[in-house]
Structure 1
Amino acid sequence: MRGTLRTAAVLLTAAALAATAGPAQAGGRGGRFDQPEDGFPSPRTVLRSGTPQSAGLDPAPLERAWDTVTGLEQAPEDGHPLYPGAVLTYGHEGRVVMTRASGYARLYADGAGTLLPADERIATRTDTIYDLASISKLFTSVVVMQQVERGRIDLDAPVARYVPEFAAHDKAGITIRQLLTHTSGFPAFLPFWSAYPDPASRMHAALTAETVNEPGSTYLYSDLNLITLGEVVHRVSGEPLERLVAEGITRPLAMRDTGYNPDPSLRPRIAATEFQTAPDRGMVWGQVHDENAWSFGGVAGHAGVFSTARDLSVLAQTMINGGSYGGHRILSPASVQQMITNENAAFPGDDHGLGFELDQRWYMGGLASQRTAGHTGYTGTSLVIDFSSRSFVILLTNRVHPSRSWGSVNPARVAAAQGMAEALAVKPREGRDAWFSGTANARTATLTVPVPATGPAELAFDQLVDTESSDLLTLEVSTDDGASWAPLPYRAGGEVVEGGYAVAGRRTWDRARAALPAGPSLVRWTYTQDASLSGRGVYLDGIAVTQGRRTVVDAEHHPGVVTADGWTRARR
């Protein structure tokens, strides 16, 4: 039936996946942050259940992340909880290593937060169906790339080739690629639902809308880009968007709980969203939350898809596999690579592939890198796919239940992604352990080593640095027993570092070297973290000082020479 989910759908839990799926073709270097993978694994990789330990992960950071996620369901003394319930799923190297549910899918009776009677509340389950909001844009983007593969769409062709009326208001030169990368010049949002009387007039208004920026000059995230693309794929294929998504994505991948306009019989499994008064919809439950998507009949290129953690896990693994899952290929590896390659180098900080956002630390946390792709949804959802570690993180909440004004879900998104980042091991470069800075915010950690040299000497050390740009590692030297300090330039990773050092996403060890002044001195590493966000942190190992052929400091074998404030010894 058009736009409905199958009412007989049953969620495959991790245990069911283990029973029904063949063995995962994991391969790779399971559980390692410091050895990023290139390319894609075997397309035969199928999800199975596992523990964090079986995948080489440290379970403690995952548990801490879950504690943070569930803790945000509690209201602070002077405010509201961030959401009534949540589902969190972690996957790594072909294994679903954790799926948890907490709180309520339906809890409130009105927009003021009046609690429903206990017998009317619905507890969250791991198979709760969520309104994905803007994660729906990824489904539209995949369909666009399928039409590109079929030769029906050229990414660099003007949109007006496929939708002639789009050329209105000097938009004849805007391309499909610019829509996918949010560089078309469109405004972020227009209220089609209230400004026009029916779906046809609303779509015409979207297609003929005026731009607010010169096309190609600016990155501005806009729903209008994907609304337009939903119509483009309809025009070139002759099929409505919901059928293209069903036939091209959800059916071949057996995503049984994913689609538009869920059947009313599924409401007991669907998370409620907002109590809306404008439009006067009351408590939105089982219909799309986004007003424009609702006014289009529940199907639009920018919003409208409902799904579960299990189904999104399959989609994530399909992308990690290079477009194939369970013997069904929905995209070529080349198309997947295009979707996760940054098209927006001209707009630093707004990295974007063809549909996917890239390297967004504000919700990807310590997993952020140029090979980390994902998307968020306004209702409180997020999907993070880390191709370098072949991992994914899915967080589903209904943070707009009962009101969109109760707060941002970003702290939960960051905590969830950071959990996977810290669960991945960083193996010491030398010996059994390395010095680790930690990842807590708003702190300064120092590591100091005395150098008893009598003449010019050389400092050598290994470093792995994964930080955000405002969290800096600095190296300094003092020749007056710490009374004053001066920057100590050093060479690492093919570059000379003269001030603070920050790098994200490279994930590899570098050997560093610095020339020390003659005579006794102190060497100090300082890691300063600001009040928010963090990468995977800083690791230092193999610290040594040589004077000629003589080693005068060997911190690897004599760690007692190091004075550590805020640094710890770590074995992974």
Structure 2
Amino acid sequence: MLRINLLIVYFFIFSALIANAQLAHDTPESVGLNSKFIQPKIDSIITAGIKQEAFPGAQLLVAKKGKIIFHKAYGYHTYDSIQKVALDDIYDLASVTKITGPLPALMKLYEEGKLDLDKPFSTYWKSWKHRKDKKDITLRELLAHQSGLQSYIVFLNEVTKNGKVKKRFIRYKKSKRFSKLVYTNIYANNRFKNVMFRKIKKSEVNSKKVYLYSGMASLIYPQLIEDITRTPYQTYLEKNFYEPLGCKTLAYLPSERDFKNRIVPTEIDTIFRKELTTAYVHDENAALLGGVSGNAGLFGSALDLAIIMQMYLQKGEYNGKQYLKPSTVNEFTRIQYPENNNRRGLGFDKPLIGNDTLSIDKAYPAPEVSPKSFGHSGFTGTFVWADPKTELVFVFLSNRVYPSRTHRNIYDLNIRPALQEVFYLAE
């Protein structure tokens, strides 16, 4: 009897170690899925997307129960069919930055007692203290997009006039005052971030406190993190998360890194940069901050995204190291304001309320995902999602903004939910 009990204990210890180990490749069959069902359906959806110019190329990585069961690249970097998409290509993550950049840092500071979700944000961001419409907004409201802040401010309008850049903000030669690299030989004034912060401070707030997705606070978070930790924002992320997790490509400013991986281009910029944007952030607001922002700016590979999403899925643990407390992950990934018909968690996106009752053309993401699932999408065509109930991590990368952001077939064809659904129907 004792021997049987010991065997049971050893089995559960071994199972836990396997579950918490590094992601490893295996077959869909190893986790109870049918590869003969999955492969043709995924191939069909993505190749149809390429033919209908939803994107010139893409890749999909799916992990289940800690095993990478699908990772395949399709198409090319651009429609000239010269450079094939490779599995280790690096992508501009756009708004996926929000949950892979500032959010893990904010989660860590929260659990250390250095941030309170329900105290006024002005407790930490002093410039809001004397703004009647902002002094009582909480960090919880900001992270759940329940604060009333407007959605977006086009700061490019501040630095250009009649199609020309204003010299007090932009120069074409690096100097002590102009060292924020916007693009090749384009530099922003180091103090332009203060212009951003002032304009955000003076921006209108909706007093009704209804759900409205806003990227404004994300522009502030890196500076807030630096102020609290007294550590450069990028250094804090690298030392506390990216390096120990083994995320080798997850980084800002890839043009300054010695990456051997190819970087997938985004849009042919006809307004500001006047050429195909590659290795520099697509989002103009992040660009004017020198490429380092909380709303966009991170680049990374599918594998690195899978690692950080697997860490979230495993309640803050990965490969034997606890990065965040389970209680922290639970708090940030739960829906915050369902009574306001707001589906959001803290930083994380969530399924539509009642998502499982919707058809796939109306659902977000796939109707089969559990209410406990979470993730985020990015404007450039990126999407990551984790489902604790099914232990599924889904990473889709594309450059749907090539050659122009007007290309919207990735949405019109409902490509990402359709792909995600395949792995729920493949049992």
Amino acid at match of 1:127: D
The residue matched to 1:228 in structure 2 has which SS?
helix
- Cα distance change of structure 1 residues 160 and 206 upon mapping to structure 2, 3 Å threshold: same
Counterpart position of 2:387:
386
Counterpart position of 1:83:
55
- Cα distance change of structure 1 residues 325 and 93 upon mapping to structure 2, 3 Å threshold: same
- 1:94 to 2:71 alignment: no
Larger displacement relative to structure 2 (42-51 or 54-63): 42-51
Q: Deviations over 1:70-110 (max 9, x none)?
A: 221113xxxxx0101101011101110010001112x25xx
Amino acid at match of 2:88: D
**How far is the alpha carbon of 1:319 from its aligned partner?**
1.1
Conserved in 2, the CA contact under 8 Å of 1:44 and 1:327?
Answer: yes
Distance across 1 between alignment mates of 2:249 and 2:71: 17
Larger % of strand: which?
1
Distance across 1 between alignment mates of 2:19 and 2:329: 12
Distance across 1 between alignment mates of 2:334 and 2:351: 11
The residue matched to 2:116 in structure 1 has which SS?
coil
Conserved in 2, the CA contact under 8 Å of 1:366 and 1:417?
Answer: no
The residue matched to 2:339 in structure 1 has which SS?
coil
**How far is the alpha carbon of 1:27 from its aligned partner?**
5.2
Q: Give 1:148's match in structure 2, choosing from 110, 113, 122.
A: 110
Aligned residues: 372
Structure-to-structure mapping, 1:158-307, within 5 angstroms: 158-167=120-129, 168=131, 170-196=133-159, 197=169, 198=189, 199-214=192-207, 217-263=209-255, 265-266=258-259, 269-307=262-300
Counterpart position of 1:540:
none
Amino acid at match of 2:297: G
| Structure-1-length-normalised TM-score | 0.62
Distance across 1 between alignment mates of 2:87 and 2:246: 17
Counterpart position of 1:342:
335
Distance across 1 between alignment mates of 2:396 and 2:302: 8
Higher RCO structure, 1 or 2 (CA under 8 Å, sep 6+): 2
- RMSD (CA atoms): 2.3
Conserved in 2, the CA contact under 8 Å of 1:89 and 1:393?
Answer: yes
Distance across 2 between alignment mates of 1:267 and 1:202: 36
**How far is the alpha carbon of 1:399 from its aligned partner?**
0.4
Distance across 1 between alignment mates of 2:207 and 2:125: 20
Amino acid at match of 1:89: L
- Cα distance change of structure 1 residues 25 and 214 upon mapping to structure 2, 3 Å threshold: farther
Q: Give 1:332's match in structure 2, choosing from 317, 325, 333.
A: 325
- Cα distance change of structure 1 residues 184 and 332 upon mapping to structure 2, 3 Å threshold: same
Q: Give 1:70's match in structure 2, choosing from 47, 51, 67.
A: 47
Q: Deviations over 1:472-494 (max 9, x none)?
A: xxxxxxxxxxxxxxxxxxxxxxx
Amino acid at match of 2:246: A
Distance across 2 between alignment mates of 1:211 and 1:150: 32
Amino acid at match of 1:91: A
Distance across 1 between alignment mates of 2:260 and 2:318: 29
Identity %: 28
Amino acid at match of 2:76: Y
Larger % of helix: which?
2
Distance across 2 between alignment mates of 1:184 and 1:43: 38
Q: Give 1:56's match in structure 2, choosing from 3, 21, 32.
A: 32
Q: Deviations over 1:182-240 (max 9, x none)?
A: 1111111001233153433333235413233126x211001102222233222211223
Counterpart position of 2:83:
122
Distance across 1 between alignment mates of 2:13 and 2:142: 36
Counterpart position of 1:35:
none
Distance across 2 between alignment mates of 1:268 and 1:322: 30
Amino acid at match of 1:181: A
**How far is the alpha carbon of 1:330 from its aligned partner?**
1.5
- Cα distance change of structure 1 residues 24 and 252 upon mapping to structure 2, 3 Å threshold: farther
**How far is the alpha carbon of 1:169 from its aligned partner?**
5.1
Counterpart position of 1:370:
371
Counterpart position of 1:104:
76
Structure-to-structure mapping, 1:303-452, within 5 angstroms: 303-348=296-341, 350-360=342-352, 362-410=363-411, 411-423=414-426, 425=427
Which residues of structure 1 form unaligned runs of 5+?
1-22, 29-40, 76-80, 109-114, 426-572
Conserved in 2, the CA contact under 8 Å of 1:271 and 1:285?
Answer: yes
Distance across 2 between alignment mates of 1:42 and 1:151: 32
Conserved in 2, the CA contact under 8 Å of 1:163 and 1:235?
Answer: no
Q: Which has the larger radius of gyration?
A: 1
**How far is the alpha carbon of 1:25 from its aligned partner?**
8.2
